[in-house]
A and B are shown apart, each in its own frame.
Chain A
Amino acid sequence: MDNLFAIETRDLKKTYKNKSHPTLNGFSLQIAYGSLFGLLAPNGAGKTTAINIICGLRRYDSGEIFIDGHNVSDGMQHVKPLLGLIPQEIALFPSLTAYENLKIFGGLYGLGKKLLEERIDQLLELFDLSASRNSYINRFSGGMKRRVNVIAGMLHAPKILILDEPTVGVDAQSRRLILEKLTDINKAGTTILFISHYLEEAEQICNQVAFMDNGTIVCQGNPADLIAGNSECSCLESLYLLLTGKKMRDSQ
């Protein structure tokens, strides 16, 4: 394998037209193959912009992005099948059943009928939703919707899975199930980029984390090593607050 990283960004810069300061200011990130990588950042730090740029949903001003060795500036046609994006918002059709939603998303990924049926059955079983496959999404609980949302992003068995806060607004049971299954999927070889506000989650499941602030990466490494390397910090949260500060960021 020539390239070492599933995702690599080099000095990414992005400034929105109506903003005076850059949202991404030299954003450089390396995510190794097979890692479960946590990207942790305060509100408004630019993580959603970074994810959207990596997935080709937003343009960037300068810098380079490599996905599985493919330079994104050469086009997304080779890159898109490798990526599975699970957005923060529930991106499902409420008046359709779980099965119909998954069939449509799988169809849009270009999966054949037989393979799609197999994948839907397999993933519904994995996320404990087989009994609700023919129920309408608008009758699902928050946790069930979140699980279907996760399944929709991984129907095509992507090599790299990007999850933007997949456990927001779900109960402890659903959260545990999602994290457990993500760990299993990672162990099976999928590289996962996991974005979360819950630092204890990242500490629990990620083998690599990066802290992001003001559009750039301020720290990256193994959670245990990062904590061990700083005598003032006993957990990831205290290290995070030490590096990103305690100032509120909602106004950005």
Chain B
Amino acid sequence: MRKFGYLLYKDYLLLKRDVAGLLLMFLMPAILVVLMALLQESSYRALTEASVPLLLVNRDQGELGEAIDNRSRPRTYSRLTER
């Protein structure tokens, strides 16, 4: 256990005197997080905001046609085109 303590002491001293290394150690993960968030966001947006034009011609005028019309509207992946 004492030997482990000396190893920690050695690493502490080495890190303390390596300012560039220390900065890289803490900054690089932060930069990576920001970079990955930006990259992921654009791909996520492409997935969630994709809209497929959907033509709905409702000649039913009954309950079933109305139900289909209502159910289709809130879908984010389609853009309802009415006639």
Q: Which residues does A use to contact B, with CB under 8 Å?
A: 93, 95-96, 100, 103-104, 107-108, 110
Contact = CB atoms under 8 A, between A and B. Distances in A.
Contacts of A95: 13-14, 17-18
B3 A93 contact: no
B15 to A, nearest CB: 10
A103 B7 CA distance: 11
Contacts of B10: 93, 96, 104
17 contacts: A93-B10, A93-B13, A95-B14, A95-B17, A95-B18, A96-B10, A96-B14, A96-B17, A103-B6, A104-B6, A107-B2, A107-B3, A107-B5, A108-B3, A108-B7, A110-B2, A110-B3
A103 B17 CA distance: 17
Interface of B: 2-3, 5-7, 9-10, 13-14, 17-18
Contacts, number: 26
Contacts of B7: 108
Nearest to A112: B2
Nearest to A105: B6
A110 B10 CA distance: 15
Q: Which 10 A-B pairs have the closest CB atoms?
A: A107-B6, A95-B17, A104-B10, A104-B6, A108-B3, A108-B6, A96-B13, A100-B13, A95-B14, A93-B14
Contacts of B2: 107, 110
Contacts of A93: 10, 13-14
A178 B1 CA distance: 34
A103 B18 CA distance: 20
A95 B6 CA distance: 16
A103 B3 CA distance: 11
